[in-house]
Structure formats: structure tokens, C-alpha cells
């Protein structure tokens, strides 16, 4: 007898994943620096600057699956792994209670099995060396060994607009992370921002060429 298919977590505070731009936009964004995307979008989308890659080589790009979970609890992160679709990035808010290890080796293995594109968490993770070796891209505030609980009576949210400092990240927003940090680009204008970012990269390459040829920044920018 064939095994019954697994059912994704569901409930009144869980919504389906969203994305509103073609795969070509994702491919292009994956090759662009976060700083360029931020500038090309009109200096928008900067997630808290304390969030950095757990391993220096980590980079991620994909549509956001937003998660708002209780502080000190990672049950909603487990659920989000199985709500998210291949290529999605989990973007997690933990109610400002940063100093817990919300994610570790086992969860990275689960996310890789689901072919997710990465994790951005406004809190800490643990198993740092193992996470680096596993290669699943993780961006966090740092490392913390403190364990989390799992309160089955607590309310969380998956794929609802979520606030990170002054930035609202919405389901389906384009998330890009590199060594400088993480940007979240509104899904409905992501394609336009990526195109402007490509043009900006070409322009900056020409400016670098001019400076290397002997021009000064003062004249290049007419300062």
C-alpha cells in the first residue's frame, strides 16, 4: 500500500506561500550585491544590520515565507519548513527575544530536504560549525546555545506581513542576503528593482574603469 501524502501544516494563522515574479528575476537577483539592490530600489528594504551570514560564504535569494513566532520558542519555525515551497526563504521574527538557539543542525537538514533557499532570523542559532559545513544559507544575529521551547498553545503566524524594526516584510517579497546583510524587496516591484540594479552595476563598473585610468572621484561625480 502506498504511503499517504504528508499534509502541510494549516490553521487560521497559516497562509499559502506567495510569489509574483518570474524565475528570471530570481536568477538575476542572485548575482547582484545587496547594496546595489538597496540603492536601485531607492534605498529601501534593509533588514536589521545585526543580521549577518553565519558562515562568511553564505548567500541566499528567494521569495519570503514570513514567520512570527513566540520568543524562546521554535515550533512555528518547524511548521514553516513544511509550509514553504522549494526555493523559498524563511524570514523569522521572534518577538525581540534574540538570545536563543532557534535553529540548528537538524532543522537545516529538514530545510535542505525541502529544497528551501535559506533562513533569515532576527535572533540567534546554534550548532555554528555544523551549520557552516551543511551549507544551508543562514543569516542570524549570532550564535547562542540556549534551547527553545515548543508551546502548542501559543499563537504564531506564517505568511503574514511581519515587522523587523521599521521594515515590513510581506510574503513573497524578494529576499537577498550576502556578506553585507539582507534586503527585502517588495514583490510587486522586484523585477523593476533588479533591472535597475543591473544597470547600476554596469555604470559602477565604468566608473571604476575611469578611476583606474587616472580620474578622481571629485570629477567623476562632479563634487
What's the grid cell of residue 134?
551543511
Whether 106 has a binding-site annotation, put simply, is yes
Residue-wise pLDDT for 130-161, tens only, equals: 999 999 999 999 999 999 999 999 999 999 99
Pick the closest to residue 156 from 10, 13, 9, 8 (CA basis).
Answer: 13
Residue-wise pLDDT for 161-206, tens only, equals: 999 999 999 999 999 999 999 999 999 999 999 999 999 999 999 9
pLDDT at 17: 87
Residue-wise pLDDT for 46-59, tens only, equals: 999 999 999 999 99
Check pLDDT > 70 for residue 95. Answer: yes
Range of the domain at 71: 46-186
Whether 127 has a binding-site annotation, put simply, is yes
Would you say residue 134 lies in a domain? yes
Would you say residue 171 lies in a domain? yes
Going from the C-alpha of 64 to that of each of 128, 152, 212, 219, 223, the distances in angstroms are: 23, 24, 39, 41, 39
Pick the closest to residue 31 from 146, 203, 201 (CA basis).
Answer: 201
pLDDT at 191: 96
Pick the closest to residue 185 from 49, 38, 35 (CA basis).
Answer: 38
Would you say residue 25 lies in a domain? no
Would you say residue 22 lies in a domain? no
Whether 107 has a binding-site annotation, put simply, is yes
Would you say residue 222 lies in a domain? no
**How far is 129 from 113, CA to CA, in rounded Å?**
20
Q: For position 64, which CATH number holds?
A: 3.50.30.40
DSSP structure class, residue 47? P
Domains of the chain: total: 1
Would you say residue 26 lies in a domain? no
Whether 126 has a binding-site annotation, put simply, is yes
- Portion of the chain with pLDDT greater than 90, in percent: 94
Would you say residue 19 lies in a domain? no
pLDDT at 1: 47
Question: What residues pair up with 174 in beta bridges, in sequence order?
Answer: 63, 185
Amino acid at each position: 500500500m502506498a504511503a499517504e501524502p504528508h499534509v502541510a501544516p494549516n490553521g487560521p494563522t497559516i497562509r499559502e506561500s506567495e510569489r509574483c515574479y518570474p524565475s528570471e528575476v530570481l536568477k538575476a537577483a542572485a548575482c547582484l550585491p545587496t547594496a546595489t539592490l538597496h540603492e536601485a530600489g531607492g534605498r529601501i528594504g534593509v533588514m536589521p544590520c545585526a543580521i549577518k551570514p553565519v558562515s562568511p560564504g553564505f548567500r541566499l535569494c528567494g521569495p519570503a515565507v514570513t514567520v512570527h513566532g513566540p520568543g524562546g520558542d521554535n515550533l512555528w519555525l518547524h511548521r514553516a519548513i513544511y509550509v514553504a515551497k522549494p526555493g523559498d526563504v524563511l524570514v523569522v521574527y521572534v518577538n525581540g527575544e534574540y538570545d536563543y538557539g532557534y535553529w540548528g543542525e537538524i532543522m537545516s537538514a529538514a530545510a535542505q530536504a525541502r529544497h528551501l533557499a535559506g533562513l533569515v532570523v532576527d535572533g540567534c542559532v546554534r550548532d555554528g560549525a555544523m551549520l557552516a559545513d551543511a551549507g544551508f544559507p543562514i543569516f542570524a544575529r549570532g550564535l547562542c546555545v540556549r534551547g527553545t521551547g515548543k508551546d502548542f498553545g501559543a499563537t504564531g503566524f506564517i505568511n503574514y506581513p511581519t515587522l523587523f524594526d521599521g521594515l515590513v516584510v510581506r510574503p513573497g517579497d524578494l529576499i537577498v542576503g550576502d556578506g553585507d546583510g539582507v534586503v527585502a524587496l517588495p514583490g510587486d516591484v522586484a523585477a523593476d528593482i533588479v533591472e535597475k540594479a543591473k544597470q547600476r552595476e554596469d555604470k559602477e563598473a565604468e566608473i571604476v574603469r575611469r578611476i583606474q585610468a587616472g580620474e578622481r572621484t571629485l570629477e567623476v561625480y562632479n563634487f
